[in-house]
Structure 1
């Protein structure tokens, strides 16, 4: 059996605020929240089977450079959605700017950055 992704953990400025817009835009729910390593705070947000762990350390460092040129950088988080147009409307309603729209075999996609400069790709695959 191949491995499946259970969660990804990344650092954000405000885990609760990030989880709130993710619940609104992606239809997710908060699975857990509380204190975590190094006197930080973490919020787990997603579905019943997989999630994102949103972590804020007690003393965050400033970001340095582009993730695309930094070894170990997070380049983007890609999510499959059922209705790309409705998802784009929700992203815009949350206050984010969409870009890099593209149609390609076998679907369509667009990107946006959140307030922490994290890039997201939303994709809808064509169904036969």
Structure 2
């Protein structure tokens, strides 16, 4: 087995501070760093000691592309997060007004999906018994 691991995913969002707060609320993560970034934008790194999501906002307004990303080379399809308690995490997400979908039990775990305020799809999965 390789010693390689995924450190971070960088996504463009409308409000990095609000995205950071939601990720803290949903998954118990912390802001590891925040500051100026590419081209005068701002980025928040939200995660734990080994991995994080970089929530980037460019210096000028951008618009989302219509449709979904699965047909676009280089498009972001979803971000998967492993949690210990799937039901408790889903309750937190629903309490924030988000609809969950595509619930499934599969070998070896259980999962559901939801879309955040910027249309980023998250998969939440648990491998706990």
**TM range, smaller chain:** over 0.9
Give the gaps of 5 or more residues in structure 1. Answer: none
Aligned partner of 2:35 in structure 1 is 34
**Aligned 1:1-128 pairs, distance under 5 A:** 1-64=2-65, 65-127=67-129
* SS in structure 2 at match of 1:42: strand
Distance 2:40 2:96 in 1: 29
Q: Do the aligned partners of 2:41 and 2:58 also contact (CA within 8 Å) in 1?
A: yes
- Please report the RMSD computed on the Cα atoms of aligned residues, expressed in angstroms: 1.1
Q: CA deviation at 1:35?
A: 0.8
* SS in structure 1 at match of 2:17: helix
CA deviations on 1:4-51 (whole Å, 9 max, x unpaired) are: 111111100000000001001100000111111111000000001111
Runs of 4+ in 1 over 6 A off after TM superposition: none
Distance 1:13 1:84 in 2: 27
Distance 1:2 1:45 in 2: 23
* SS in structure 2 at match of 1:117: coil
Normalising to structure 2: TM-score of the pair? 0.94
Give the gaps of 5 or more residues in structure 2. Answer: none
Q: CA deviation at 1:2?
A: 3.2
What is the count of residue pairs matched by the alignment?
127
Normalising to structure 1: TM-score of the pair? 0.94
Distance 1:38 1:60 in 2: 13
* SS in structure 2 at match of 1:48: coil
Q: Do the aligned partners of 2:13 and 2:55 also contact (CA within 8 Å) in 1?
A: yes
